[in-house]
Chain A
Amino acid sequence: GAVVSQHPSWVICKSGTSVKIECRSLDFQATTMFWYRQFPKQSLMLMATSNEGSKATYEQGVEKDKFLINHASLTLSTLTVTSAHPEDSSFYICSAVDRALSYEQYFGPGTRLTVT
């Protein structure tokens, strides 16, 4: 149980375009999902907290107009990187928690984004 999927696993896009990343909880309902970014050899950085049916809460320094988050259902959250630039190239990871059971967070496999 507690499986979280992400799609795509990797993506290459041109500078100025937008990219959408999907995060799904496969066998539980995720009342809350989190989006992280990780640069090489650095720790995870929380970008935003996404609650089903409400607006995402962004961490300080994260541009909400650039990183659009939608948590439209209890099993799906999406992150759209708009007008991507090479400095947005990173490893994006989502996690999901089913608060009905516990506070254990389960991570998706991540999406590696390269902006050329």
Chain B
Amino acid sequence: QKEVEQNSGPLSVPEGAIASLNCTYSDRVSQSFFWYRQYSGKSPELIMSIYSNGDKEDGRFTAQLNKASQYVSLLIRDSQPSDSATYLCAVIKGSTLGRLYFGRGTQLTVWP
């Protein structure tokens, strides 16, 4: 079983719609969860971090964490073509001193 799994997509949504990205992780003691956005040919950019169960909102982005289900998601409201990118879910396991475990990423396309 992989440390972090994401639905690989690709996911395609129309402009203005809600894009939903999902991620599960295997290590129950994981405490820190992140979403990164990576445009083609560029390095990852941190867009959300979440540490507690529940929702965390930042502008059009909402991260949701459910530790009991070992599940973290990212919702992008009012999707824009500029949101088209690969979204990487990353987790810090309980005992790895900051090392990130990445999912393979979900490619999102927002069409006008």
Do A and B interact?
Answer: yes
Interface residues of A (CB under 8 A from B): 32, 34, 43-44, 46, 49, 91, 93, 95, 97, 99, 102-110
In the bound complex, CA of A49 to CA of B99 (Å)? 8
Closest to A111 in B: B43
Query: Most chain-A CB neighbours within 10 Å: which of B98, B99, B100?
Result: B98
Question: Is the beta-carbon distance between B104 and A46 smaller than 8 angstroms?
Answer: no
Contacts A43-B102, A91-B43, A108-B43 known; 18 new A-B pairs at CB < 8 A: A34-B100, A43-B88, A43-B104, A43-B105, A49-B99, A91-B41, A93-B43, A95-B100, A97-B98, A99-B98, A103-B92, A105-B46, A105-B90, A105-B100, A107-B36, A107-B45, A107-B46, A109-B42
Report which of B34, B42, B105 forms a contact with A105, defined as CB distance below 8 A. B34
Interface size class of B (residues with CB under 8 A): 20 to 34
In the bound complex, CA of A93 to CA of B100 (Å)? 14
In the bound complex, CA of A95 to CA of B88 (Å)? 15
Kindly count the residue-residue contacts between A and B in the assembled complex, taking CB atoms under 8 Å apart.
Answer: 45
Closest to B32 in A: A103
Chain B residues within 8 Å of A106, by CB:
46
Q: What is the distance, in angstroms, from B35's C-beta to the closest C-beta of chain A? A: 11
Near A by CB (< 8 A), chain B positions 23-66 give 32, 34, 36, 41-46, 49
Q: What is the distance, in angstroms, from A91's C-beta to the closest C-beta of chain B? A: 8
Offer 15 A-B interface pairs, CB within 8 angstroms, sorted by A: A32-B98, A43-B102, A43-B104, A43-B105, A44-B102, A46-B100, A91-B41, A91-B43, A93-B43, A97-B98, A103-B98, A105-B90, A105-B98, A105-B100, A107-B36
Q: What is the distance, in angstroms, from A102's C-beta to the closest C-beta of chain B? A: 7
Chain A residues within 8 Å of B46, by CB:
104-107
Is B97 part of the binding interface, using a Cβ–Cβ cutoff of 8 Å? yes
Question: Is the beta-carbon distance between A46 and B34 smaller than 8 angstroms?
Answer: no
**Which A-B residue pairs are the 7 nearest by beta carbons?**
A110-B43, A107-B43, A93-B43, A43-B104, A103-B32, A107-B44, A97-B98
In the bound complex, CA of A101 to CA of B45 (Å)? 18
Chain A residues within 8 Å of B99, by CB:
34, 46, 49
In the bound complex, CA of A54 to CA of B49 (Å)? 28
